[in-house]
Chains A and B, each alone.
Chain A
């Protein structure tokens, strides 16, 4: 998460100077028991609070899914790993999209 924020220029270099505080909660990672196609769904909550007055400026649940097939990995455990990572990545990407729409100044988050 920190890496993604940093890549997109949202991560503050100093925790004290950051005007916003971000809390991320992994609510659920829905994994299949078996199957040739492995679909993993992630449910995450993102809560963004303004440090100056503790006002919550964004609080939402984002769901994202990722489908890993036999072409991606033949071994089931590896396929599940790929699907887990893909689902979390898609979730963070969706949140970053929302973050862009909030028109925050760069490097504001701790």
Chain B
């Protein structure tokens, strides 16, 4: 016959189990975040949500029918890829505005320096807490595009880009 455990022993055992569960859960969350955030180059995504860490595209109307598109990629992303994401966003933007063609006014490629915290997960009795131990500098590609949307017309100038064609060509490997 098994001896009966005291209330204190039961409480300690349950607490021990919940601590292990918390630790296990934290590790899984860290692994998932790591896989989602760092394992692959930046795709066609908006830069605003916090889980993108600022990577992706952002756009704004700057003057009448002129728009700016800025794409920042994580360190695994190549310069041609961020340029393609910017071009694809320009095409989608044109479609969203009910138009079919646009022209590129300006384009620019940059490499940004970003100071990134190096932290190690430490356990203080609850979930794992990331504790910063240093900093490293990473390089991130950025593409800037300035476009003008063209009003619907029977014939477009030779430098006009067809939004539908760009989407068909680029969406396959970026979206």
Task: Identify the A interface with B (CB < 8 A).
Answer: 23, 25, 27-28, 30, 32-39, 41, 43, 45, 59-61, 63, 65, 67
* Inter-chain contact A25/B106, CB cutoff 8 Å: no
* Inter-chain contact B114/A39, CB cutoff 8 Å: yes
B137's nearest neighbour on chain A, judged by CB, is A37
A20 CA to B76 CA, complexed, in Å: 44
In the complex, how many angstroms separate the beta carbon of A46 from the nearest chain B beta carbon?
Answer: 11
**B72 at interface by CB-CB < 8 Å:** yes
* Inter-chain contact B106/A32, CB cutoff 8 Å: no
* Inter-chain contact A30/B53, CB cutoff 8 Å: no
- Choose one: A23, A25, A38, A63; the contact of B108 (CB below 8 Å): A63
**B117 at interface by CB-CB < 8 Å:** yes
In addition to A43-B70, A63-B110, 18 A-B residue pairs with Cβ atoms within 8 Å of each other are A23-B63, A27-B60, A27-B70, A27-B144, A28-B58, A28-B144, A30-B142, A32-B54, A32-B114, A32-B115, A36-B132, A36-B135, A39-B112, A41-B142, A43-B68, A45-B146, A65-B112, A65-B113
**B17 at interface by CB-CB < 8 Å:** no
Interface size class of B (residues with CB under 8 A): 20 to 34
When A and B form their complex, which 5 residue pairs have the shortest distance between CB atoms, in order from nearest?
A37-B115, A27-B68, A28-B70, A25-B62, A35-B115
* CB pairs A–B below 8 angstroms (18 shown): A23-B63, A27-B146, A30-B54, A33-B53, A33-B54, A34-B117, A35-B116, A38-B115, A39-B112, A39-B113, A39-B114, A41-B112, A43-B144, A45-B62, A59-B105, A60-B106, A63-B142, A67-B113
In the complex, how many angstroms separate the beta carbon of B163 from the nearest chain A beta carbon?
Answer: 21
* Inter-chain contact B144/A35, CB cutoff 8 Å: no
Given A27-B62, A45-B62, A45-B146, A36:B115 Cβ within 8 A: yes
In the complex, how many angstroms separate the beta carbon of B148 from the nearest chain A beta carbon?
Answer: 12
Of residues 95 to 141 in B, which have CB atoms within 8 Å of A's CB atoms? 105-106, 108, 110, 112-117, 132, 135
Which residue of A33, A36, A45 has the most chain B CB atoms within 10 A of its CB atom?
Answer: A45
A70's nearest neighbour on chain B, judged by CB, is B135
A41's nearest neighbour on chain B, judged by CB, is B112
Given A23-B63, A25-B62, A30:B72 Cβ within 8 A: yes
Q: Residues of B contacting A28 with CB < 8 Å? A: 58, 68, 70, 144
